[in-house]
């Protein structure tokens, strides 16, 4: 059984499945992203990745760490003269704050006495601190929080930026916005059918990443109150992905289902505790006649195709993309590090005390939307490579165009 499983894993590797792996600690030398399965011939510039890294750093409510870091990437492998080579891509982003943590984070066993701070032994409620100690048999919370930190999402964004560039070549766009911070929310009854219903320029100009200026101002006020109170705030962000052809993913097996993979990807982002496809939770309260998107015969000149006038399915049915925009929302809990510490217990003395306090944000929902874009880009790009192959960008694009032309000829979809 194990031999068959190993052979199957090797076969999937030969088929060129797109994989993204990250490494690095919050105060280590840097964050590393390795991408396997990106086709050869994709034009890549570090400046494009840097723009997404800068977007991740912005947002009202971020902490002092962002004043130290100036995230810039460099390619260590897989890119030559501005193009991918079809080999694994390695991207490194330096942690500038590492200069202040060299002794504490030194990989060497022998370090001068007095240079290493005392072990952290008081876990924070809501953080990975306590479960990490239990899982790995550790006695210093520093060994847990360094990797569990959201600083790891730097590498995710770098990898997602590469996948975004690949998807752009296939006519696919991905954008995100904030719809709620704390109790302040924007009105989201927008039909879910067209990304044009969102003012994306206003989203990028907003300090909280939303396109409602009134709600945005109220969100900033809520963040200010939480900061004064030594508290933190969660919220909800939304990710749109459009230009996607129908039929990505699958319904035959659990791991093929694109909806499950997207939900899992967004749910893996630190502090995300819930994911919604389209207006899923509202759909759960309505009868089917008001939920399912009617199929209609649509025409434009001599072209006729079967389409949907609504998109309450959020672009996903039966584990597959429908050709409508994929719309997902993710609920993010408040950050667990509070300046007004919550009650905890020292794991060594077993004495009640206040939780350990680390430097942190008041809210990270605006930056989490950028991480959400990156995760959606990774999953959708992988689905394209799996369905159409990925040795070279030219062969991938040709396969996608042929498939889309066939769908149009059969009247099953119209590529707009």
What b/e sequence results for 358-377 when a residue is b if at least 16 CB atoms lie within 10 Å of its CB, and e otherwise?
bebbbbbbbbbbbbbbbbbb
| Mean pLDDT value across residues 321-339 | 94
Q: For 185-196, how does the pLDDT look when each residue is reduced to its tens digit (9 = 90+)? A: 998 666 677 899
Pair 23, 156: CB distance under 8 Å: no
The residues, ordered by sequence, that sit 6+ positions from 320 with a Cβ below 8 Å of its Cβ are 246, 247, 248, 249, 250, 251, 258
2 has a pLDDT exceeding 60: no
Position 103 scores a pLDDT of 75
* Radius of gyration from C-alpha coordinates of the chain: 23
| Mean pLDDT value across residues 126-146 | 94
Choose among 17, 38, 19, 80: nearest CA to 166: 38
For residue 255, give the H/E element and its range: none
Position 68 scores a pLDDT of 63
DSSP secondary-structure letter at 82?
Answer: T
Q: Give the fold, CATH level 3, of 2-409.
A: Chorismate synthase, AroC fold (3.60.150)
| pLDDT class of 10 with cuts at 50, 70, 90 | very low
Pair 62, 187: CB distance under 8 Å: no
328 has a pLDDT exceeding 70: yes
**Domain-wise residue ranges, the chain:** 2-409
Nearest 10 degrees: CA dihedral of 235, 240, 246, 248?
Answer: -60
Q: Tell me the range of 54-68, 92-106, 243-257 where mean pLDDT is highest.
A: 243-257
Q: For 399-416, how does the pLDDT look when each residue is reduced to its tens digit (9 = 90+)? A: 999 999 999 999 998 876
Q: For 359-394, how does the pLDDT look when each residue is reduced to its tens digit (9 = 90+)? A: 678 999 999 999 999 999 999 999 999 999 989 999
| pLDDT class of 67 with cuts at 50, 70, 90 | low
Nearest 10 degrees: CA dihedral of 269, 270, 275, 278?
Answer: -60
Position 12 scores a pLDDT of 47
36 has a pLDDT exceeding 90: yes
4 has a pLDDT exceeding 70: no
Pair 375, 265: CB distance under 8 Å: yes
Position 66 scores a pLDDT of 60
| Mean pLDDT value across residues 5-19 | 52
| Mean pLDDT value across residues 285-309 | 92
DSSP per position, 197-240:
GS-HHHHHHSTTS-S-HHHHHHHHHHHHHHHHTT----EEEEEE
Pair 365, 234: CB distance under 8 Å: yes
């Amino acid at each position: 059984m194990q031999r068959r499983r190993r052979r199957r894993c090797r076969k999937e590797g030969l088929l060129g499945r797109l994989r993204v792996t990250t490494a690095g600690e919050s105060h280590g030398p840097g964050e590393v992203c390795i991408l396997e399965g990106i086709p050869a011939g994709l034009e890549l510039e570090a400046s494009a990745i840097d723009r997404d890294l800068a977007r991740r750093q912005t947002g009202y409510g971020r902490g002092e760490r962002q004043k130290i870091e100036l995230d810039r990437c460099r390619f260590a492998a897989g890119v030559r003269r501005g193009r991918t080579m079809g080999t694994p891509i390695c991207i490194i982003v330096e942690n500038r704050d590492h200069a202040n943590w060299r002794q504490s984070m030194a990989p060497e066993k022998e370090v001068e006495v007095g240079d290493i701070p005392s072990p952290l032994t008081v876990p924070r409620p809501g953080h990975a601190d306590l479960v990490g100690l239990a899982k790995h048999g550790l006695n210093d919370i520093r060994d847990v929080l360094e990797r569990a930190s959201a600083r790891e999402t730097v590498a995710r964004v770098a990898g997602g930026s590469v996948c975004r560039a690949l998807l752009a070549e296939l006519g696919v766009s991905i954008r995100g916005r904030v719809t709620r911070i704390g109790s302040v929310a924007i009105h989201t009854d927008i039909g879910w059918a067209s990304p044009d219903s969102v003012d994306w320029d206003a989203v990028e100009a907003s300090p909280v990443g939303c396109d409602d200026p009134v709600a945005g101002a109220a969100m900033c006020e809520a963040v200010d109150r939480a900061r004064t109170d030594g508290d933190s705030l969660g919220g909800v962000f939304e990710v749109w992905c459009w230009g996607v052809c129908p039929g990505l993913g699958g319904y035959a097996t659990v791991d093929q289902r694109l909806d499950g993979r997207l939900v899992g990807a967004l749910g893996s982002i630190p502090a995300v505790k819930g994911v919604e496809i389209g207006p899923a939770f509202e759909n759960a309260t309505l009868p089917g006649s008001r939920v399912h998107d009617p199929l209609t015969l649509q025409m434009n000149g001599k072209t006729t195709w079967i389409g949907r006038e609504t998109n309450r399915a959020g672009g996903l049915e039966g584990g597959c993309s429908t050709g409508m925009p994929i719309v997902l929302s993710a609920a993010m809990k408040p950050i667990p590090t509070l300046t007004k510490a919550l009650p905890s217990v020292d794991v060594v003395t077993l004495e009640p005390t206040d939780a350990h306090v680390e430097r942190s944000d008041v809210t990270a929902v605006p930056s989490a939307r950028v991480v959400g874009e990156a995760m959606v880009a990774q999953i959708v790009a992988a689905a394209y490579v799996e369905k159409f192959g990925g040795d070279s960008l030219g062969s991938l694009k040709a396969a996608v165009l042929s498939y889309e032309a066939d769908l149009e000829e059969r009247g099953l979809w119209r590529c707009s």
